[in-house]
Structure 1
């Protein structure tokens, strides 16, 4: 039977005494750290509460009243009359809903794959990739209002670059890209794609840089080509990025407002629900109840696909 040698510099029998001494617990947070932590949590929460949740609750309440927005004494309960008016007697609503769904489809099937393709190309470590990233990401740093102004110059009927390239500038054959109700929605979608594709590119590029190279090597050893390796190995690994992009695409398509409003205030073929909300809440002839009801409808439409997608995704992961 062997006995463990006592620790150097420790008297015999001291080890057992030390093990029986109560250990002193040290707090990771002192008083100042607690204040900083509370401030970091409380301030964003307060901002979120004031700028998002309180206005949301107020909008829901106002959707059940009649009010012209002038005096609080003029508020009258309306029940679901505002919603009934929207669904049955408000002509712009259904075209606006169709345009929002078209916006979602276009961003999901055209703009997002373009951003993914750009990310794949720039992930190949080609020469000047940083410059290309900056070029494609520049529209993301611009406001949608400014993007609308830029594309107005591009689409202008008389002096626009597009009609100049087509050789129709200044002629009766010049296309009125923003004035023709059969064309302007597609012109606005291309302008929105210019920005959305750059945003998607950066997100996917960050996801591709985080993929373990050994996964691709293992897929290549199993005989998978580049396309099979990407769709069967790389893309599933980037599931968190996919979730973020799906949510962003839905939100961007449903809250689209700036471009169409800068073009023609969301009329003449560019009706969107967000534009209808502003038309009823701002300016002469305010109909606060109808505008609030439209905002609630837009909120519900936005939340339903996001909640369904996230619940299915997290259920698969569980």
Structure 2
């Protein structure tokens, strides 16, 4: 007795149907990360937005007092560290965008040309990215030590007798931290751009070469425009790295309490929330400002991505 083969609709219905164990597994697989995201990210973010309109010392919940926009008015008018912190964040962004980011792109383009020992170079340049920013900070703290540090030792070997306090001098410490951050950021950008170059059609390079374009012209007029999605990702990464800079500055700056010349928005938030004199309202308002700037950068990236897909 021949059996009737099931219809295509029945096969699809069976494929879509999940057993009880499968549903439980998917619920756990999706539910736990969503619950963690809600509990550790969105709830604190919403709480910070609410607390930014209050004054609170962080001890008794009954001491929370609603003051409206007073924290924001105080930040923009009578809060001296805010504008230096904004200026330093802008300097951080410009430095990162103009030096380590283009250098990382340059290294990626050179390594993509199949030079000898490419793998060794990639590993050596990317190695700082494997380390956390705190570890990078400890490494550069040893390098910048005014008495036994490597940098002053090199200066002494060429005849300089001056012991420069790289992290204590307010005219130098921000730039010293930027160099340490650039050491790590360069490898990150190199790997991102190298991944984009691996998916680039080499026929376009050959066509440009046949048209008489040299290496620089090929990169600027063919490769760089074609890798626009990667360029946007690198731009967003650079902006986000500049805004959330904290770990390495915290280590090199000696902990909570910004040194003169090292003020950043992230450090001001930490100082006001967990510092000796807690001002949760101020810190939350600063966190909201930083959140809005970060959302603007992320929103730009998403807008560019969606528009590209629509086209």
Partner of 2:184: 195
- Counterparts in 2 of 1:127 and 1:298: CA distance versus 1, 3 Å: same
**Native 8 Å contact 2:233 2:301 kept in 1:** no
- Alignment counterpart, residue 289 of structure 2, candidates 268, 284, 297: 297
Deviation at 1:240, TM superposition (A): 2.2
Q: Which whole-Å CA distance do the structure 1 matches of 2:183 and 2:225 have between them?
A: 26
Partner of 1:286: 278
> Residue 147 of structure 2 aligns with which residue?
158
Q: 5+ unaligned residues in a row in structure 2: which ranges?
A: none
User: Contact 1:144–1:258 (CA<8 Å) still a contact in 2?
Assistant: yes
**1:24 is the counterpart of 2:43:** no
Could you list the per-position Cα deviations for residues 152-205 of structure 1 after superposition, in whole angstroms to 9, with x for gaps in the alignment? 111111111111111189x87221110100011110000000111111111111
User: 1:222, CA displacement in angstroms?
Assistant: 2.8
Contact 2:240 2:297 in 1 (8 A): no
Within 2, Cα distance between the matches of 1:274 and 1:34? Answer: 42
Residue 273 (structure 1) aligns with: 265
Contact 2:174-2:262 within 8 A present in 1 as well? yes
Q: Once the 2 structures are TM-superposed, how far is the Cα of residue 59 of structure 1 from its aligned partner?
A: 0.4
Could you say what secondary structure the match of 1:260 adopts? helix
In the other structure, the counterpart of 1:6 is none
CA contact (8 A) 2:156 2:162 kept: no
- Partners of 1:84 and 1:168 in 2: CA distance: 52
Take 1:269 and 1:159, find their aligned partners in 2: how far apart are those partners? Answer: 23
Q: Deviations over 1:113-137 (max 9, x none)?
A: 1111111121122222111111111
Alpha carbons 1:243, 1:310 under 8 Å: kept: no
CA distance in structure 1 between the aligned counterparts of 2:279 and 2:75, rounded to whole angstroms: 12
Say yes or no: does 1:48 pair with 2:40. Answer: no
Q: Secondary structure at the match of 2:10?
A: coil
Distance of aligned partners of 1:22 and 1:105 in 2 relative to their CA distance in 1, 3 Å threshold = closer
How far residue 249 of structure 1 moved from its aligned partner, in angstroms, is: 0.8
Q: How many residues align?
A: 301
Partner of 2:238: 249
Match runs of 1:164-175 below 5 Å: 164-167=153-156, 173-175=162-164
Superposition TM-score, scaled by structure 2 size:
0.89
Q: TM-score, normalised by structure 1?
A: 0.87
Instruction: Output the CA distance in 1 between the equivalents of 2:44 and 2:146.
Output: 40
Q: Judging changes above 3 Å, is the alpha-carbon distance between structure 1 residues 28 and 88 closer, same or farther for their aligned structure 2 residues?
A: same
Cα distance between partner residues in 2 of 1:110 and 1:314 = 29
Is 1:222 the counterpart of 2:216? The answer is: no
Question: Offset at 1:309?
Answer: 5.1
What SS is found at the alignment partner of 1:284?
coil
The 1:210/1:316 distance shift into structure 2, 3 A limit, reads: closer
The CA distance in 2 between the partners of 1:237 and 1:279, in whole Å, is: 44
- Gap regions ≥5 residues in structure 1: 1-17
Moved more, 227-236 or 38-47: 38-47
Q: In the alignment, what sits opposite 1:10?
A: none
